[in-house]
């Protein structure tokens, strides 16, 4: 089984995302972290014993990059959606199956403060992968930690990730089968929406998560 490392919540700006997420969770997020070689900054919050939620946005003060940012953040269509509201744009797993590496670009090194890791993104030019899976964050990214994990220093907020869910239409079962072929992923489940005619079809497939707040006895959906 692939171990789930973290889930990514995109925002049009870190300030807007912070206001949204702190109000939703009713708690304070971490200090700001910076990814200089990816031109992004983030805040994080623990949502399980070994899983965290990452709020991420383009750093307006970053230098011009020669490569694309991760999680499709350079995509104008995604930025248009994020300008309306933050949304789940991806998830990251610790890979346990070397055979799936054919779907990914080579690992590259990333650092933030005292944390170091290798990271691999789905190959955007790989014709074996549907654009729907790539552009909507349905295809997981891969991580190999080279230092201690940041979650070891995160406050226990009594939050617990119940599930991460990918919602497809009945005409997108082949996408579901492709994700299944990557191997079992911790906490991941699938939902087929048979009422998609009442919802704009372009939203599918989509990622959703459910978090249990054990302190306030409630469930939070994103």
- Residue 87 and residue 82: Cα distance in Å, rounded? 7
Token representation of residue 3? 């171990």
Q: Are 115 and 22 in contact (CB under 8 A)?
A: no
- How far apart (Å, rounded) are the C-alpha atoms in residues 139 and 132? 9
Structural domain of residue 54, as residue ranges? 3-221
Structure token pair of residue 72: 């499709």
Cα gap 106→198, rounded to integer Å: 40
Stretch 164-187: mean pLDDT, rounded? Answer: 91
165-181 average pLDDT score? 90
Would you say the pTM of this structure is higher than 0.75? yes
Has residue 196 got a pLDDT over 60? no
* Domain CATH for 22: 3.10.180.10
**How much is the pLDDT for 197?**
56
**Model pLDDT for residues 73-106, shown as the tens digit of each residue:** 999 999 999 999 999 999 999 987 888 999 999 9
Query: How many domains does the structure of the chain reveal?
Result: 1
């Amino acid at each position: 089984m692939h171990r789930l490392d973290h889930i990514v919540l995109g925002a049009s700006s870190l300030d807007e995302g912070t206001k949204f997420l702190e109000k939703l969770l009713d708690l304070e997020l971490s200090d700001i972290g910076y990814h200089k070689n990816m031109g992004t900054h983030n805040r994080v919050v623990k949502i399980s014993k070994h899983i965290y939620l990452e709020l991420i946005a383009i750093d307006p003060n970053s230098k011009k990059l020669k490569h694309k940012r991760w999680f499709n953040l350079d995509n104008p269509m995604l930025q248009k959606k994020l300008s309306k509201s933050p949304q789940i744009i991806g998830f990251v797993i610790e890979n346990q199956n070397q055979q799936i590496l054919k779907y990914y670009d080579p690992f590259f090194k990333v650092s933030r403060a005292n944390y170091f890791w290798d990271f691999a993104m789905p190959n955007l030019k790989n014709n074996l992968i549907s654009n729907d899976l790539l552009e909507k964050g349905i295809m997981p990214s891969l991580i190999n930690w080279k230092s201690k994990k940041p979650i070891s220093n995160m406050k226990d907020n009594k939050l617990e990730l119940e599930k991460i869910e990918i919602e497809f239409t009945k005409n997108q079962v082949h996408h579901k089968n492709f994700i299944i072929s990557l191997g079992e992923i911790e906490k991941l489940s699938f939902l087929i929406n048979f009422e998609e005619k009442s919802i704009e079809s372009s939203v599918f497939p989509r990622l959703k998560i459910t978090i249990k707040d054990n302190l306030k006895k409630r469930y939070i959906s994103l």
